[in-house]
Amino acid sequence: MTENKEKEFSPMMQRYLETKEQYKDCILFYRLGDFYEMFFDDAITASRELEITLTGKDCGQAERAPMAGVPHHSAEMYISRLIAKGYKVAICEQLEDSKNTKGIVKRGVVKVVTPGTIVDSNMLEERKNNYIMSIFKTGIYFGISVCDISTGEFYSAEIKDNNNFPQLLDEIARYSPSELVINSNLADCTEEIDKIKERFNTYITRFQDKFFDSKSDIIKLRFNLVDTNQNQIENVEEKSFAIASINALIEYIEQTQMTNLDHINKIIIYQISKYMSLDINARRNLEITEKMRDKSKKGTLLWVLDKTSTSMGGRHLRRWLNDPLVDTLEINRRLEAVKELKENVMLRGDVIDNLKKVYDIERLAGKMAYGNANARDMITLKNSLLRLPEVKSVLQTSKSTMLKDIYNNLDELQDIYELIEKSIIDDAPMTVKDGGIIKLGYDEEVDKLKTATSEGKNWIIQLEAEEKEKTGIKNLKVGFNKVFGYFIEVTKSNLDQVPERYVRKQTLTNAERYITEELKNLENQILGAEEKVVSLEYDLFTKIREEIAKNIIRLQKTATLVSTLDVLTSFARNSRRYELLYATSR
């Protein structure tokens, strides 16, 4: 669009077009009041795909701009539908309070939602990871990186062997990513791209080659780089293909999410030979996680074995089934733990009873780090942490190495539990900007303001009674209006009894209205107290959330241990069940 033509548009539409120019490959959700609006081609597309009304808006030209909108409070539902249909969505918010701004409110894109970068729990499957994979192709070799942004998991590997492209297909099948981020070498290889599209239902994003950088300096500073045994990787520079894919994926995530990514803090660089090699055909024919016919879970190996009690345990089980071990020592460690849980009925029952009350600590931790956790998420986290001491206690007499390791390393996180317990109301609302989330007794200023809003009327009644007593004016009354605020009204027949401390505020036909220092102080406390307490509660809430986010690594480690215990217990339940079925069938 030329500069001269842009001038024909209204100022608001010019701002919209400037923003849209930066996000050409996205449907732009442009915040206007209580709605996200879409214009021009985006509006036509959204109207068709979401089955919403297409209208028009004056835009400074002869023809009205096509327009379609969705309410901001239900935007998640519409965004998820667009993502499922293969679109990206850029969310443009108001960055200023319209009450304090003259002219057009400043707006800016705060997040781009793509199939691989979804973090909202309502848009995710509870028991399945949502992976995004970056692929760096150079010659016949590949570097790959995989991340689930909602949990912070990050894996990377290199493919430098015979049959490299078939191995790449096997790794894509292992993770089933919802989005691939690729460099130009792969994007321009039509034959390989066609095979990927033929085999996988995944969104493909071509990313600029400059971001597939093989320098490792920044990565080493920002991330803990380990192998599958959690040992530090010393010569990471030798993994240049993996590093290139890591750099690109981190850059892509940062460009789309535009927020803190502290929960992505560890990268596991693994050898593909660590796990049993299952090609794409074997995975499909074995029906490990989905049926060949309709891609459903029912009837698969995962469906048979999944007796986990938590969502994070369900995801952990899926990973173990997709990554069969070839290390006999690790296999026997797992079997030893499963055997103990199978044979110790009391232990197994106690573990299950407690895990049923543990929610998704893994994704809750991600929400804390992301800064999109609300007060109810905190209560859910608190209720989960409440069970951890009991989970640890029942493992105290365990004998198997793996269960002992879980017992010794399980952080009960009671400091986080206590912080939430003393600060957040149990039945807190979903929204965090409307108040009603901080407990009485946590903050002195909040307590004062809440008292002012709840007891303000009583204070006024008491003041009126006191002034009648002090002045002897029996028909004196304390009133309020929006223009003058609070006042003391005295009829003209009683003006000779008005004390000097009364300051005239307004003259009426039959009365005078006054203000006193005490009434002024009460007015200051009552008026605006509600607005102040809402603002203060939000500030306190964000500080509490930030404090929890500082402990993200502790939360993630605990989540991993709890989900591992959950999978081991699931195996034990199945082992006992099928043992009994076999015994009764003989």
Same domain, 65 and 136: no
Query: Which tens digits make up the pLDDT trace of 32-63?
Result: 989 999 999 999 999 999 999 999 888 777 78
How confident is the model over 455-475, as a mean pLDDT? 91
Does residue 480 sit in helix, strand or coil?
strand
**What local confidence, expressed as pLDDT, does residue 519 receive?**
93
Q: Summarize the confidence of residues 315-329 as an average pLDDT.
A: 92
**What distance in Å separates the CA atoms of residue 364 and residue 312, rounded to the nearest whole number?**
11
- Whether residue 397 lies inside any domain: the answer is yes
Whether 249 and 299 share a structural domain: no
Whole-number Cα distances in Å, 182 to 147, 241, 272, 390: 14, 13, 20, 46
Per-residue pLDDT averaged across 235-242, rounded? 92
Per-residue pLDDT, averaged over 468-491, amounts to: 92
Model confidence band, residue 375 (pLDDT cutoffs 50, 70, 90): very high
Residues 313 and 395 in one domain: yes
Task: Write out the residue range of the structural domain in which residue 249 sits.
Answer: 125-275
Pairwise CA distance, residues 42 & 189, whole Å: 30
Average pLDDT (322-331) is 90
Structure tokens at 352: 């299950």
What is the distance of C-alpha 85 from the center of its chain?
22
**What domain count does the chain have?**
4
Whether residues 298 and 335 share a domain: the answer is yes
Pairing of strands 203-206, 477-481: unpaired
Of 315-319, 427-431, 465-469, the least confident:
427-431
CATH number for the domain including 525? 1.10.1420.10
144 in the same domain as 85: no
pLDDT, residue 327, reads 87
**38 is a domain residue:** yes
Long-range contacts formed by 575-582: CB under 8 A, 24+ apart: 575/338, 575/339, 575/342, 576/342, 576/348, 579/342
- Give the rounded percent of residues in the chain with a pLDDT score beyond 90: 72
Residue with tokens 């192709």: 137
Residue at 157 is within a domain: yes
199 and 163: one domain? yes
Lowest-confidence segment of 204-208, 283-287, 472-476 by average pLDDT: 283-287
Averaged pLDDT, 59-74: 87
**Residue holding tokens 């009991």?**
390
For residue 236, give the CATH number of its domain. Answer: 3.30.420.110
Average pLDDT of the chain, as a whole number: 91
User: Does residue 499 carry a pLDDT above 50?
Assistant: yes
Distance spanning both ends of the chain, measured CA to CA: 79
User: Higher confidence at residue 242 or residue 13?
Assistant: 242
Per-residue pLDDT band at 585 (split at 50, 70, 90) = low
The reported pLDDT for the residue numbered 586 is 59
- What's 100's DSSP letter? G
Residue 419 lies in a domain: no
Instruction: Determine the average pLDDT of the residues in 258-273.
Output: 89
CB 269 within 8 A of CB 233: yes
Indicate whether 244 and 148 sit together in one domain.
yes
| Residue where a domain stops, chosen among 224, 240, 275 | 275
The answer to whether position 484 is within a domain reads yes
What does the pLDDT average to over 301-311?
95
Domain shared by 256 and 382, yes or no: no
Same domain (yes/no): 92, 132:
no
Contact 154, 147 (CB under 8 A): yes
As a whole number of angstroms, the longest Cα–Cα distance in the chain is 107
280 domain-assigned: no
Burial (CB count within 10 angstroms: exposed 0-12, middle 13-18, buried 19+), residue 527: middle
End position of a domain, from candidates 87, 113, 139: 113
Mean pLDDT confidence for 541-568 = 96
**pTM score:** 0.82
pLDDT at 8 over 80: no
User: What is the model's pLDDT at position 416?
Assistant: 98
pLDDT recorded at residue 10: 84
Q: Is the pLDDT of residue 322 over 50?
A: yes
Sheet with 477-481: list strands edge to edge.
477-481, 485-491, 511-515, 503-507
**Segment among 52-56, 380-384, 525-529, 548-552 with least mean pLDDT:** 525-529
What does the alpha-carbon distance between residue 391 and residue 421 come to, in Å, rounded to a whole number? 19
Which residue's structure tokens are 């490299």? 164
pLDDT at 582: 67
Residue 383 sits at φ, ψ, to 5 deg, of -65, -30
In the listed set 275, 309, 336, which residue is the last one of a domain according to the structure?
A: 275
Question: What pLDDT sits at residue 3?
Answer: 44
* Across 25-36, average pLDDT: 94
Q: Do both 107 and 131 map to the same domain?
A: no
Which of 449, 381, 388, 457 lies closest to 419 in space, CA to CA? 381
Residue 37 burial (C-beta neighbours within 10 Å; 0-12, 13-18, 19+)? buried
The tokens describing 9, both together, are 């548009």
Q: Which of 318, 327, 314, 325 is nearest to 174 (CA)?
A: 318
- pLDDT value at position 1? 42
Please report the pLDDT score of residue 230 as a whole number: 85
Write out the two tokens for 102.
């003259």
How far apart (Å, rounded) are the C-alpha atoms in residues 462 and 357?
Answer: 49
Q: What pLDDT score does 175 carry?
A: 94
Strand partners, 187: none
Q: Is residue 431 part of a domain?
A: no
Same domain, residue pair 270 and 292? no
**Is 514 a residue whose pLDDT tops 70?**
yes
Using CA of residue 385, residue 389, residue 390, residue 396, what is the dihedral sign?
positive
User: Which pLDDT value is given to residue 97?
Assistant: 72
Question: What pLDDT sits at residue 2?
Answer: 40
Confidence band for 226, pLDDT divided at 50, 70 and 90: very high
Residue 48: give its domain's CATH number: 3.40.1170.10
Looking at the structure, tell me whether residues 79 and 50 fall in a common domain. yes
Between 74 and 570, whose confidence is greater?
Answer: 570
Residue 576 included in any domain: yes
Question: Which whole number is the average pLDDT over 341-367?
Answer: 95
The whole-angstrom separation of Cα 357 and Cα 348 is 15
